Chains A and B, each alone.
Chain A
Amino acid sequence: MKDGKNTYKSRRPMERLLQRIPFLKDEKYSPFLAAGLLLTSIMLIFILIGLFWTPYDPTAMNRNEKLAGISIRHLMGTDNKGRDILSRVMYGSRITLMIATGTMIVGAGIGTVLGALTGYFGGMADEIFMRIVDALLAFPSVLMALVIVSLFKTGSWEVMMALGIAFIPSFARIVRSEVLRCRSMDYVENARIQGVSDLRIIFMHILPNIRGVLLSSILIGFNNAVLAEAGLSYLGIGSQPPHDSLGSMLSSAQQYMLSNPVSVLGPGLAIIWMVLGFSFLGEGLRREGD
């Protein structure tokens, strides 16, 4: 501060580490935001390329090159059926991202609406709803999803729905507490005096004011969705072949871990990359909001 050169030095080790990277030394934004944007955009570009072009057909099998290691021909090696892992990661990342997005649309969408309504109107309905949410929160969300999936068939859509429903309670809670905080503020009361309808107050006046919290919890939820989906697929009840997600790739590669350890590397790294990107982005946005 004194010499005016080093304007901002964080006490958090993670943030200091990120600030060492020259590209992230931007003074305008927190290094978390910059790192998150960087990681996520690289991931998105990677997936976008995968939409139009992959080195090989992700489903084409090659009997002669089973469980190959890293080479120029196969940058991430091949799996037990001789399929190119890089191509499959490109395709699988897309599936994983799609499931995570769908989960967030269902979970955050319904959770936000329910939380906002009960938080704003309060009363008996709120009390009952929140006790139900408390009960649901007592189960881990993956376990909840497991139950829901086992009631229906397995597949990408079912996983999306199941995870989405399992994510509703946590979003409802976050949004409810924020709406409760805003409800007694002067600008909301002022709007009520002017005769603005309750629904309009909730969705046009209050929700824009809690968008920061909402956005960062959506990004954290995104992470949880990616991990939960990988977990479900690992258990064999996630997305089914030929629409393999990163999780199901990981689960099938695990059997050959001893003969070809490289084959877990691709999908594993992709999951870590995705989760890290979203959590940095969420953390960065949260700090920007503060």
Chain B
Amino acid sequence: MSALVSNTAASQAGGDVWQGRARSLEISGLNVYYKNNKKSIFEKRTLTHAVKDVDLVMYKGEVLGLAGESGCGKSSLARTIVGINKNYTGTIKKTDPYPQMIFQDPYGSLNPCGKVGWILKESLRADRKKRRSEEEMDMRIRKAMEDVELPVDFLERYPSQLSGGQRQRVSIALSLVQDPEILIADEPVSALDVTIQAQILRLLDDLHRKLDLSILFISHDLRVVYNICDHVAVMRNGIIEEYGETDCVYRNPRAEYTRELLRSAGI
């Protein structure tokens, strides 16, 4: 916790409303390394230290914002939490062993060869937490489509027949269909235009209340983070520079880097 500037109401005036609540995710001492590709056989393989000794807590039912410029290690952190990246040291405690993820690019995160219904069913068939019968799967898929406010006949469409916003709704449905407790949203609206962004953000906010989800919301856009997050962590070069309740951090940023980011975002 050396580099971390804690900026919570507790440290300012005493009494973070979240303190003492159940935690859905607890990361301590996390280090993530990446192997770089060798350019020739004579070169030694180098490691990139993408995430450096990070501690982070996510409370149950909150939206935790993770902000920072591109290349600062946000996505590495996300990939480590969902378990695709196995190259890390440190501990990750999560209430849900299989968190789900929403990707940035709605054009790449859905299999172009599968109809929406097939894509959703494929996820349910693979569910490691619960086995379902065919009817249960169909019910669950319908429910997920309802949750993301898409008509049921979209199940028969291919992703290429949908717009960007509709695709992102399908990706959200896909990440929710297994009923996860933790959802990681890796820049879920950065690839969409502004009107669609607002719709998707509202949808995420609604779902988070309705389904009691804990969401780790990764974004480089501080305005978006301000609107929907309960806590925010600011990351730079693999280090979390500042962490605290969103209001506190925005009103009274302590780390120099946070001030810089806020200034450039015009807040």
Contacts and interface: CB of A to CB of B under 8 A. Distances in A.
Interface in A8-55: none
Interface string B185-214: 000000000000000000000000000000
Contact of A195 (B101, B112, B128, B171): B128
B166 interface: no
Contact of A197 (B109, B126, B171): B126
Q: Which of A189, A197, A200: most chain B CB closer than 10 A?
A: A189
Contacts of A204: 122
A190 interface: yes
Given A186-B103, A186-B105, A204-B122, A194 B112 contact: no
B178 A190 contact: no
A185 interface: yes
Interface in B87-105: 98, 100-101, 103, 105
B126 A195 contact: yes
- Tell me the dominant secondary structure on chain A's binding face: helix
Q: How large is the interface on A (under 10, 10 to 19, 20 to 34, 35 or more residues)?
A: 10 to 19
A194 B114 CA distance: 16
B123 interface: yes
Q: How large is the interface on B (under 10, 10 to 19, 20 to 34, 35 or more residues)?
A: 20 to 34
Contacts of A211: 113
Contacts of A181: none
A143 interface: no
B84 interface: yes
A205 interface: yes
A186 B109 contact: yes
B17 to A, nearest CB: 32
A193 B122 contact: no
B163 interface: no
A254 interface: no
A209 B112 CA distance: 7
A186 B84 CA distance: 12
Interface string A199-221: 01000110011010000000000
Contacts of A195: 98, 126-128
A120 to B, nearest CB: 14
**10 shortest interchain CB distances as A-B pairs:** A186-B108, A208-B113, A186-B109, A196-B126, A195-B126, A194-B123, A187-B111, A186-B103, A195-B128, A193-B82
Given A194-B122, A204-B122, 12 more contacts: A185-B108, A186-B108, A187-B111, A191-B111, A191-B123, A193-B82, A193-B100, A195-B98, A195-B126, A195-B127, A195-B128, A197-B126
